[in-house]
Amino acid sequence: MIRPMTTTTFSYIRRLMIPGVMAGMAWMAASAAIAAAPFEDSMAQRTLACTACHGPQGRAAPDGYYPRLAGKPAGYLYNQLLNFREGRRHYGLMTQLIDPLSDAYLLEIAQYFSSLEVPYPAPPPSTASADVLRRGRQLVTEGDAARKLPACVQCHGQAMTGVAPHIPGLLGLPRDYLNAQLGAWKAGQRRAHAPDCMQDVVSRLSLEDINAVASWAAAQPLPADTHPATSLPAVAPGSEAVRCGSAPLPARGTVEPKAKK
C-alpha cells in the first residue's frame, strides 16, 4: 500500500537539521526536488529525499559517498534502514529522515528500490598495484584458511551480486565506500543483529587486507545478470557455514509502530 505524502510529512522533512556541508547541500537539493515536483501520490515522489543523495532511481551518487540502492535485496535495504534508525549505523541525516517511519513503511521503501532495474556503470580503472589486487582477489574468492577467514563469495554469492533476501552485492561499489564500510565494521562503528558475522570476519582483516579487498572488488565489471542470487553457494570443503543475524520482516498487511529506543 502506498500512503499519500501529507503536510506533516513535508513539514518534518523541512525541519531536519543536517550536520556538515555535504549533508546540508544534499538536503537543500532534496527539498528543492520535493518542492518542484508535481504531486503524483507515488513512491517515486516520496523517495525524492532518498534519491537527492543516492542518485536518480537510487543508482548512486557520482561522488561515491552515497551507495547504490537500486536492485539491492529488499531484506538487506530494510535491515539497513532499521540499523540507521536504531543506532547500529551512524549518519545523522539518515537517522532523522527515517526516525518517524514505521517498520512496514520502511519495508515498502526497501521493496521499491529493490524492484528498480537500473544499469550499472563500468568500473573505473584501478590504481592499486598488481600485488594488492592479487591479495584482494584471493581473499574475496578463496578466503584465508590459516586465519579462518571465509571467502567473500561464500556469503555474497559467486557472482558477488548478493543473495536474496538479506545479503548485498559487493560489485558496483566504489573503493572508498567499501574501505569506509569495512573500516567502520573493524572500528565498531557499524554493527548488525547478532550473530554479527561481518564484525567477526572483519576483525581478522588487517587494514592492508581491507584495502586489497576493496580495491579488487571495485575494479571488477558486473556480470550480464546483475540480480542477486536466490540461494547461497555450497560451502567449500573444509569451510564452515557463516551465520549472520538480520531483522525479521514485518508480517504482510500489517503496519508496525516505530521501534522504541
List binding-site positions for heme c.
50, 53-54, 94, 152, 155-156, 198
Residue 245: other Cβ atoms inside 10 A: 14
Alpha helices in the chain (DSSP H): 7-15, 21-36, 43-46, 48-54, 74-85, 92-98, 103-114, 130-141, 153-156, 175-187, 197-202, 207-218
Q: ∠105-47-255 over CA atoms, to 5°? A: 5
Q: Supply the angle between the helices 207-218 and 130-141 in degrees, to the nearest 10.
A: 90
Residues annotated within the binding site are 50, 53-54, 94, 152, 155-156, 198
Contact in structure between 88 and 190 (CB atoms under 8 Å): yes
Which helix (H) or strand (E) covers residue 47, if one does?
none
Place of cell 518517524: 100
